Amino acid sequence: MQVTELVARELGIFEYEQTRPQASVNGVTTVELESRGVWYRMHLVRDANNEAVTMEEGARLGAFYNSKFFLELLDTEKLEIPCEKLIRSFQIEDQHANHSIFVTNFYFVRAVKENHENIMEQQQTLLHPLIEELSDYHEQIAFDSHFLCHGKLTGENCKFEDEALIEITDWEQIHFTDPAYDLSFLIITSSDPSIRHNIHKIFRALS
């Protein structure tokens, strides 16, 4: 029996549609399930419950538990961050392999193309004013280094609906650092070349 079927049974879901499994950059596998209009996201990693693991296995487990810890923290502290909500976590065995799993539900947003167009629009309405603010007030900006940051914030991780940010995904690399790193990574990876060029000029002026 497939892992997805076992998870669906654990959740009490018997009729569902599923997407193809995808692996994050850290090797955590995700599968999305839809049942009666409700969307679930399953995060899983093979977990032998053994301290003697390879570096690759350790990286996968670290990313998995880092993301799970963050979602638990959101629930415990009642933090209002637009991202998926943790439903359950458990372990299952399939074909003599143990898997650690946590399941979330999330807003199913627009198709990729529509979401990309929305992101590009947000770049124009949000990033350009931000760049102007940074240009005018960069001498007054001072960040505390003890902020919980995403670690890999890109346009692909930001989901929009009706011009509003409704979800930020992939919280596997959260850590405490200067939030300027998140902002810089978002601009470098997700803005159009003209915006990156303007940012480069600002950084050169600051150096």
SS3 call for 20: coil
Domains 3-105 and 112-206 belong to one CATH topology? no
pLDDT at 179: 79
pLDDT at 114: 54
pLDDT at 16: 92
CATH no. for 3-105: 3.30.200.20
Domain boundaries, the chain: 3-105, 112-206
Task: Provide the whole-model pTM.
Answer: 0.59
pLDDT at 102: 94
CB 69 within 8 A of CB 86: no
Query: From its phi and psi, is residue 97 left (phi > 0), alpha (psi between -120 and 50) or beta?
Result: beta
pLDDT string in tens for the chain (207-residue length): 588 888 899 889 989 999 888 888 778 899 999 998 888 999 999 887 776 778 888 888 888 988 898 888 888 888 777 778 899 999 988 777 889 999 998 765 444 455 556 666 666 666 566 666 655 555 554 555 567 788 888 888 888 877 788 888 888 888 877 777 888 788 777 777 776 666 656 555 555
CA 200 to chain centre: 26
Task: Supply the DSSP string of 67-124, one letter for each residue.
Answer: HHHHHHHHHHHT---SS-EEEEEEEEEETTEEEEEEEEE------HHHHHHHHHHHII
CATH no. for 112-206: 1.10.510
